[in-house]
Amino acid sequence: MFRFRKEAILAAKIPLSRVHQSQVIDRRILEVVKSGNYILGPESKAFEKELAAYFGVKHVVLSSSWTAAVHLLHIAQGIKPGDEILVPSLTAFPSIEPMIHCGAKPVFCDIDDTYTIDPEDARKRITKRTVGILPVHLYGRPANLDAFMKLAKEHNLWIIEDCAQSHGAKWKGKRAGSYTEHAAFSFYPSKNLTVYGDGGAIATQDDEIARKVTMLRNHGRKDKYLHEKVGFNLRFNEIQAAVGREQLKVLDDLNAGRRRAADGYRRELAGVKNLVLPPDDKDGQTESVYHMFVIRLKDNDTREGLGKALKEQGIETGVHYPVPNHQQPAITELYGQLPSLPRTEDYTQRILSLPMFPSITDEEVKTVANAINAYLK
């Protein structure tokens, strides 16, 4: 069993997130520094193989970020101007940047009560230009994969699972990221699996896609001085690969810590008026990993007031995400005013993310819950 650093646990402030650290990771970093291998070396190759084994996929290819990895994947797929891709509006903006850089258009869909993309709303938005679907496993909960695989089969669409927030989550017993042709992961510091900085990867069952992405991330090289394609410098480094390998070894334990904290919040906040808790896993299909624990308040004023009250008590909160992507200035500049997404627009005015990380103590959970109870009463 891993140990958390004592000083992190004893910190007076309760942050929104806290990165798992260990003496083992410290030692591994120093080993890599002394090894003389720094870019796409043995640590990176091992990390790719271990990730592929953990998620149950054929290939994993590391890159410098989720955004970079998916950009390379879209190029390898042959995404072209005029293509349309179904995507939820309630997601981090990077989910849509790679497709836009390739000339494709994001077609924004509304969400259901799980905060993930609504399959029926997505179905209504399919046109002859639609080529794929990018369901986001938001907040650590898998989207309805059965519905999207059925939709993709009916309309000959590909699927990329956005697993940036769902490392280790399961849908019907299988890990998110292993159900469809492709998936993508982020290792940003706040993620369930981190590498102490930016980093990302694509997972794929397709040999040719894996080969192309591997080349494209490293200047399109076939070997050191032979460039088969015009590529990019979007490589992964050995220090972060070593960190990621150690984080992967304890990922299931880290996720168990998040689920323990989620159970604590549910217990302490049960029955509180004007407060909606995140969907649970009682449907028998999902196993969430609680990248975030997101509550929903009565209205925006209540959300803002509660956030301020918690901040005054040293409790950090967040809003993920306050401006849905179909209303972002960068998007309206490109496409003009887009159709309304009622549930997305309503929920983004009322959601609040509570502190959530593996090492959060039962006492810290109670402190947060007591402060919420006191404010809402």
CATH number for position 85: 3.40.640.10
Of 204, 220, 249, the one marking the end of a domain is: 249
Assess whether 230 and 273 both reside in one domain.
Answer: no
Residue 271 lies in a domain: yes
pLDDT value of residue 7: 42
pLDDT value of residue 144: 96
pTM value is 0.95
Assess whether 227 and 327 both reside in one domain.
Answer: no
CATH number for position 369: 3.90.1150.10
pLDDT digits (tens, 9 = 90+) for 266-281: 999 999 999 999 999 9
Structural domains in the chain (count): 2
Residue 1 lies in a domain: no
CA nearest neighbour of 236 among 264, 208, 202, 209: 202
The list of the chain residues with pLDDT below 50 reads 1-12
- Report the alpha-carbon distance of residue 280 to residue 288 in Å, rounded: 8
pLDDT value of residue 190: 95
Assess whether 180 and 263 both reside in one domain.
Answer: no
pLDDT digits (tens, 9 = 90+) for 129-145: 999 999 999 999 999 99
pLDDT digits (tens, 9 = 90+) for 222-239: 888 999 999 999 999 999
- Contact present, 359 and 257 (Cβ < 8 Å): yes
pLDDT value of residue 8: 40
Assess whether 25 and 173 both reside in one domain.
Answer: yes
Q: Strand 182-186 to strand 174-175: parallel, antiparallel, or no bridges (unpaired)?
A: unpaired
pLDDT value of residue 274: 92
Assess whether 335 and 227 both reside in one domain.
Answer: no
Residue 255 lies in a domain: yes
Q: Which domain holds residue 268?
A: 251-376
Residue 86 lies in a domain: yes
Burial label for 98, CB within 10 Å (0-12, 13-18, 19+), is buried
